[in-house]
Amino acid sequence: MMDISESKRLAERSARVMPGGVNSPVRAFNAVGGTPRYIKKAEGRYLYDEDNNKYIDYIGSWGPMILGHNDKRVVSAVKKRIESGMSFGASTRLETDMAELICSLVPCVEMIRMVNSGTEAVMSAVRTARGFTGRDKVIKFEGCYHGHADTMLIKAGSGAMTSGVPNSLGVPSGCVSDTLLAVYNDVKSVEDLFKVYKDQIACVIVEPVAANMGVVLPEDNFLQSLRRLCDENGALLIFDEVITGFRLGIAGASGYFGIKPDLVTYGKIIGGGMPVGAYGGRRDVMSVVSPLGGVYQAGTLSGNPVAMQAGIAQLEILRDNPDIYDNINALGEYFRRGIEDIIERYSAPCTVNGIGSLLTLFFTSEKVRDYNTAALSDTAIFADYFNFMLDRGNYFGASQFEAVFVSSAHTREDIDKTLSDMEDYFKVR
C-alpha cells in the first residue's frame, strides 16, 4: 500500500477551510471513498503527490494536457509572456492572434469571444442564441454537463451525476422553466419538443460526444438530425466542445463529424492548462454580442495574455504536427481493445465506450447509449476498482461517469502496465 500520510494531513486541513476540502466536488473522492491525493508536480504523463508517489495520469487536468504535463514548448512560451506582464484589462495582440488561429482551424467559427471557463462560455452562448432568435426555450440532453450555470443544472452529468443529485439547491424554479430535457441519441424526443413548443425554442445544446456521463458516442444520424431539426424550426445548434474541441482532431467534433453548428463553446485545450473558455460561430449570430449588439457579456480577465499565449502555443503545435492525433487516437484504440479483451477473458459485467483519445469503462454489461443506461453502472464496484488501480499508480477520475484522457506523452508501455493492473483486479474480483 502507498504511504499517503501527507495527503491525509492536507485533507484534514483543507476540510476546515473549504467546503468538502476541495474547490471542485469530484476531487473530494466522495463517490469512491478514501483520501484524495494532493499533487505537487507533474511531468509528461506522470503526477507526483505530496508523499512522492508516482502515478500514470489519465485525467490530464480533465483534458487540457493533450501534450502531457509541462510540455517544454508551451512552458517556454508562457515564461516569456509573463515577463511582459500577466494582466492588463486592455486589448492585446494575443487576443487577436488566438481568435484568428481558431477561426482558421474551425470552418464553423467566423467570430469568437474569449471568456474564462467552459461554464462561462456555455452561459454566454445560450444567451447569444436567445438574443439572436428572440426566443427563450433551450433543449439540453439528460446527462450532458454544460457547466454550473443555473439554467443547465437539470439532469447534468459529471460530478452532479456521481453524487446522485443531478439538480442543484439554490437554483430557482424560474431559472430552469425554459430548459427542456431530451434524451441523448433519441431524435424523436427532440422532435416531440419542437412540436409542443413550436416557434419557442432558441437552441439545442449538445455535447457532440457526451463525456460527462462517461463517454457516450452519438449514434448514426443523431447529430445530423439535430442539424436538420434546428434548420426546420428556426433554432440554433450549439456544440459544447469544451472537451471535444481540438481533442478529436484539429477542427474538433464539428470537423470530425462534418457538421456545422451555429455556435460552439471551447475550453480546456485552448488554454494549454491555463483557465480559459471561448464561444464563437456564425458571424451574423455573434454580431448580436455587445458592443456590436444588445447581448451583454464581459469579463475582467477575458483574453488574459498568459492564457492566450499558452493556448496559442499548444494549438500551433497541434496544427503543425498532425501525427499527434494519429498517435493519441491509436493509443486510445489500443487501450480500448485491451480493455475489451480483459472483459471477454474474465466475463466481467462491463462495457467500454471510446472515440479517439477518449474512453470510459462502465461497470454495466448493458450498452451505454444515454443517461439511463449509463446510470445502470455499479458505482460501488467502480469505487473498489478505482482504489485498487490508484494504489497501483494509475490516476483516473474519481467517478464512474468521467472520461479517460490519453495524451501524446503516454506510451504503449504505460497502457500495457495499466492493462496488466486491470487484469489483476478482475482476476481476484
Is 221 strand, coil or helix? coil
Q: Is 81 within 8 Å of 87 (Cβ atoms)?
A: no
What's the half-sphere exposure (Cβ side, CA atoms, 13 Å) at 281? 31
Question: One of 49, 57, 71, 240 is an active-site residue; which one?
Answer: 240
Question: One of 137, 140, 155, 268 is an active-site residue; which one?
Answer: 268
Tell me the C-alpha distance between 164 and 183, whole Å: 18
Active site residue 188: no
Where are the extended beta strands (E) located within 350-428? 351-355, 358-362, 394-395, 404-405
Strands of the sheet containing 39-43, edge to edge, are 39-43, 46-49, 54-57, 394-395
Which grid coordinates belong to 362?
A: 462502465
Q: Is 269 within 8 Å of 96 (Cβ atoms)?
A: no
Q: Phi/psi at 190 (nearest 5 deg)?
A: -75, -45
Tell me the C-alpha distance between 368 and 69, whole Å: 31
Active site residue 57: no
Q: Is 419 within 8 Å of 342 (Cβ atoms)?
A: yes
Active site residue 240: yes
Tell me the C-alpha distance between 158 and 162, whole Å: 7
Question: One of 145, 256, 279, 385 is an active-site residue; which one?
Answer: 145
Which residue numbers are catalytic?
A: 145, 240, 268
